[in-house]
Amino acid sequence: MQPTESKAPRWERRKDARPGEIISAALDVFVEKGYAGARLDDVAARAGVSKGTLYLYFENKEALFQAVVLETIVPLLSQGSEAIARHTGPRSELLRGFFADWWERFGSTKLAGISKLVIAEAGNFPELGAFFQREVVEPSGRLLRQVLEAGIASGEFRPVDVEYAWRILQSPLVLASIWNQSIGKFCQPVDLDLPRFLRAHADLMVGALLAAPVAAVPADLER
């Protein structure tokens, strides 16, 4: 009847672009709904494909989740590792940079939602937790440990229990990022000043590590 109407194809062939589009959609849905709560229908709809198409690219829900982690979080780790290798100058500055980068590229983004998700659902999906532990937590720990050990070796940091210190040092950032993805989304303390939080964290952690007493505390923080 309407000759111009026949032009809309039922679907398009986009083999190369699909996986990325699906992963991106899946990231959104997983972060928003959690693992169990994420419906593959929703992922498909958001990616603009049909449900069946998901299974052309990913074996099942778990594989899709792992792909999300591998594609979005894991690449950050190698970036971090390069930054560390490149660095010259005091280790304390490297540490501050590391924390700042972590926050900017992970903690403040929706990727942090993945951490929250893993913590929330690891009880019911142990493989998820093990996967995240193996692919994200441990590698990221190795980076931080490396920095600490180098700083101690050079005499810049005092000797601390490195095996545990790396967890402790990053905990405030990790917890804050998780917090922002859950409770913080709805009831942010009105006056939360993120830069100031990051500064306070870096100052305290560097202070905890430095071999010599801290020299300068910004005057505006004096009570």
Partner DNA sequence: GATGAATGAGTCTTCATTCAT
Partner DNA sequence: TATGAATGAAGACTCATTCAT
Q: Name the residue nearer to a second copy (CB basis): 3 or 218.
A: 218
Within 13 Å and on the Cβ side, how many CA atoms surround 88? Answer: 0
Tokens coding 22: 């699906």
Is 10 among the residues that bind DNA (CB under 7 A)? yes
Minimum distance of DNA from residue 215's CB (angstroms) = 55
Alpha carbon distance, N-terminus to C-terminus of the chain: 79
Q: Rounded distance, CA 79 to CA 101, Å?
A: 10
Among 33, 46, 110, 145, binds a second copy (CB under 8 A): 33
Say whether residue 60 binds DNA (CB under 7 A).
yes
Largest CA distance in the chain: 84
How far apart CA 151 and CA 184 sit, in angstroms, is 34
Angle between helices 18-33 and 40-47 (to 10 degrees): 130
210: β partners: 157
Q: Is 61 in the site for DNA (CB under 7 A)?
A: yes
Question: Quick one: which H or E segment has residue 195?
Answer: helix 194-209
**What's the Cα-to-Cα distance from 107 to each of 53, 76, 95, 213, rounded to whole Å?**
32, 12, 16, 29
Give the nearer residue to DNA in terms of CB position, either 62 or 71: 62
Q: Which of 72, 92, 140, 181 binds a second copy (CB under 8 A)?
A: 181
Chosen from DNA, a second copy, none, partner binding at 41 (C-beta under 5 to 8 Å by type): DNA
d(CA 16, CA 130): 30
Q: Is the dihedral of CA 54, 58, 61, 66 positive or negative?
A: negative
Of residues 109-168, those binding a second copy (CB under 8 A): 116, 118-124, 126, 129-130, 132-134, 137, 149, 152-153, 155, 158-162, 164-165, 167-168
Q: Is residue 142 near DNA by the rule CB under 7 A?
A: no
Contact positions with DNA (CB under 7 A) in 31-50: 37-41, 49-50
- Out of 13, 123, 161, 190, point to the residue binding DNA (CB under 7 A): 13
Q: How many residues bind a second copy (CB under 8 A)?
A: 67
For residues 92 and 211, what is the distance between their CA atoms, to the nearest angstrom? 11
CB 14 to DNA: min, Å: 4
- Binding region for a second copy (CB under 8 A): 32-34, 36-37, 116, 118-124, 126, 129-130, 132-134, 137, 149, 152-153, 155, 158-162, 164-165, 167-169, 171-172, 174-176, 178-179, 181-183, 185-187, 189, 196-197, 199-201, 203-205, 207-209, 211-214, 217, 221-223
Which residues contact DNA (rule: CB under 7 A)?
9-15, 18, 37-41, 49-53, 55-56, 60-62
